[in-house]
Amino acid sequence: MTDAKAESPRPLPSNKVTIAYLQDACRTLIDFASARIAIPDTVITEASHLLRLDPADVSEDQETRLRLVHRTLTMALRPATEISIRAVRELEEDRRLRPRLFRFWWKDNEARKQISNATWLMLAILLVLVVIQVYTLVLSTCVQRLTEISADRATIALEIEAAKKAAAASRGNVSIDPIDAVPDTLLQRKEIADSRYSGFNLLLVQWSKPWSWAVVDGKVQGEDVQDTRGSAVQHSVREAAEAVLRALALYVLPLIYGLLGANAYILRAISRQIDDHALVLLTFYKYRLRLALGALLGASVSLIFTSDAAATQGIGLSMTAVAFLSGYSVEFAFSIIDALIHRGRIAVGADSKPSAVPPPAGGGVAPGG
């Protein structure tokens, strides 16, 4: 019986894979920590002995000591972990070995793909933002200039009418064309105002093509200014342009700024994680949720800025700043909302603790006391 037991192979530990992983993790942590922090000599000596062991020969006591070494190194290097250190090293190795030109994105490692996605998303958001800002600037300029020129044309028309009446009253001869009595400077002003009005109206019609089909028929947009139907079409396009500007200022631009703020935070967080060797691929799923929350908070800013003055003047600095900061600091924005809700619940008594049972009336003893 003794010989049989001696000849039978020793069973392998059930946690052989776990021990091998701990040994590999400790090697990574020690290599990373050796050039950054001072590790006690006792930890290095203990780790050097345990890392040379075969996982199949590790006893329970040695496994416990290995776990203690791993925990000591992890606490000393926090927030860096063996997983994040390897991810950053893969980025460095990938950049060193692969050329910068003619690289294919589908051959990148997962960390580089996620970083590239965040970078390209930022560029796409900036491009969309610039396009919408330029479109808003041109559209608002056209509407503003048309409003100013319309008022100027009305003033010139009154001056011309007054000049005609004054000439007719002074000459007392209705056979003379009253237009001859109008000063040339006034006629020149009228011609310039009409020309500018037609030019800005044509520019407004051209820049309104993405949505003007829903307002008027394109066949009547080019009619003469003095025509009643053409004038009605021009006014409808102008009113629709003002409505589009309000929608862009109150909803579209705040949403984009909220998304931009969230993406700016993500890029800064990625940069800090790479510097600290704390890049974890699992956090990129959290960043996707942050993008959605940033867009939601940016769009919700319009609930605060609902005045007509802010809408007609375009996107204001305060509204833009609030939308961007809400997207950048999602936690701070939601903490304010949670605090307001908590105070509201306290005000209505929803969070008040139940009061103790009042004593019996008259100060008597309760039954059973």
pLDDT digits (tens, 9 = 90+) for 198-218: 899 889 888 888 887 766 654
Closest by alpha carbon to 305, among 291, 320, 294, 295?
A: 320
Identify whether residues 195 and 320 lie together within a single domain: yes
Q: Could you read off the pLDDT of 109-165 as tens digits, one per residue? A: 778 888 888 999 999 999 999 999 999 999 999 999 999 999 999 998 888 888 777
Quick: pLDDT tens for 235-264: 888 888 888 998 888 889 999 999 999 999
Looking at residue 266, its pLDDT comes to: 93
Same domain, 135 and 60: no
Share of the chain above pLDDT 70, in %: 76
- Higher model confidence: residue 270 or residue 105? 270
Are 252 and 334 in a shared domain? yes
107-113 CB contacts, 8 Å cutoff, 24+ apart = 110/281, 111/87, 111/279, 111/281
- How far apart CA 112 and CA 97 sit, in angstroms, is 14
Quote the domain boundaries for residue 266. Answer: 128-348
Tell me the three state secondary structure of residue 127: helix
- pLDDT grade, residue 73 (50/70/90)? confident
Query: Within this chain, do residues 140 and 200 fall inside the same structural domain, yes or no?
Result: yes
- Residue 278: which region, alpha, beta or left (left: phi > 0; alpha: psi -120 to 50)? alpha
Write the pLDDT tens digit of every residue in 44-70.
788 888 888 888 878 888 888 888 888
Pair of tokens at residue 59 = 């006893």
Of 53, 83, 63, the closest CA to residue 18 belongs to 63
Is 232 among the domain residues?
Answer: yes
Residues 66 and 138 in one domain: no
Q: How many CB atoms lie within 10 A of CB 355?
A: 6
Mean of pLDDT values over 104-112: 70
Residue 364 included in any domain: no
Average pLDDT over residues 92-112: 68
- The structure's pTM equals 0.74
Residues 205 and 64 reside in one and the same domain: no
